[in-house]
Amino acid sequence: MKKILITGVAGFIGSSLAEKLISSYEIVGLDDFSDYYSPSTKRQNVANLQKNKSFKIYEGDICDEKILDKIFRNHEIEKIVHLAARAGVRPSLENPGLYMKVNVLGTNNVLKYACASKIKQFIFASSSSVYGNSAKVPFSENDPLDRPISPYAVSKIVGEKLCWFYNNAHHLKKTTILRFFSVYGPKGRPDMAPYIFTRKILNNESINIYGDGSQARDFTYIDDIVDGIIKAIKKPFDFEIVNLGNSYPVLVSKLIQIIEETTGKRAKIKFQPARLGDVEKTYADISKAKKMLNWEPKTKIQEGINKFIDWLKNYNLYR
């Protein structure tokens, strides 16, 4: 079986991807189990995977070259899906140095070892945040990235540029950048709006809405994102950037309404001033993904929220 390295393997997207790939690949995972959210949650994400002989996980930081050296010495890695990153727009405003260290230096380290090992394919997880508050919608892969409004967005733009540099200057062939749009679903990050809103509504707690609720997000269900990554793995490009989004922006106020209808409970809303770093709208142009990957999302927002809430209740994770 081919060996694939997934960085950030214990996270939301990483563990979901690993579960789908484990029957086709030997998976080498790397995760630092950071405290951005509960490390125990991440350990639970990979608990079942660790029972599989085709799964090997290393605990360590992508900024630490020693752990990367160990991985590449012990395994003949053929492909890399680089998901590891410090996530979150608002926390990046409070600690931009940490985001530059992990998302830029760490990504550079992974790219350097990928080149030295002459891997066959490199996939980099980028973000819709790179588009900033672009007035042009939907967001296209060819749009200029000249107005980022958070350190997180800057770090992802630099990560993309590093991929381009290594692809051209150091012959890291077959490189694909995937820009994810507001991923949600079972095992989702607890700092994301669907998780926060659902938990608070179920617990009869107040929800803070920053702005007037007219902000819109292109919420994309986890299964669709994983399907897009797998399609990218199966179809290597010399160098491409591809949006993976639902291409259907949903107002924050509409998201709350959907959660209310699904749970049968009313939200208690407190409106607060808009916050620095929040974009007004995300909206993916997915024509390139359709054409080049034969990919398009299958999960509508109502269906995805229903599945997410079922998962949250089944595992009693909302209290």
- Residues with catalytic function: 152
| Structure tokens, 150 | 């958070």
d(C-alpha 261, C-alpha 259), whole Å = 5
| Structure tokens, 245 | 């989004």
Can you tell me whether residue 259 is helix, strand or coil? Answer: helix
| Structure tokens, 273 | 């001033």
d(C-alpha 14, C-alpha 81), whole Å = 9
Helix, strand, coil shares of the chain, percent, nearest 5, are 45, 20, 40
The candidate with the shortest Cα–Cα distance to 33, out of 42, 21, 20, is 42
Residues 6+ apart with CB under 8 A from 317: 199, 311
Contact between residue 172 and residue 122 where contact means Cβ atoms under 8 Å apart: yes
Contact between residue 78 and residue 120 where contact means Cβ atoms under 8 Å apart: yes
Longest pairwise C-alpha distance within the chain: 56
The full length of the chain comes to 319
The candidate with the shortest Cα–Cα distance to 17, out of 67, 65, 74, 79, is 79
CA 188 to chain centre: 10
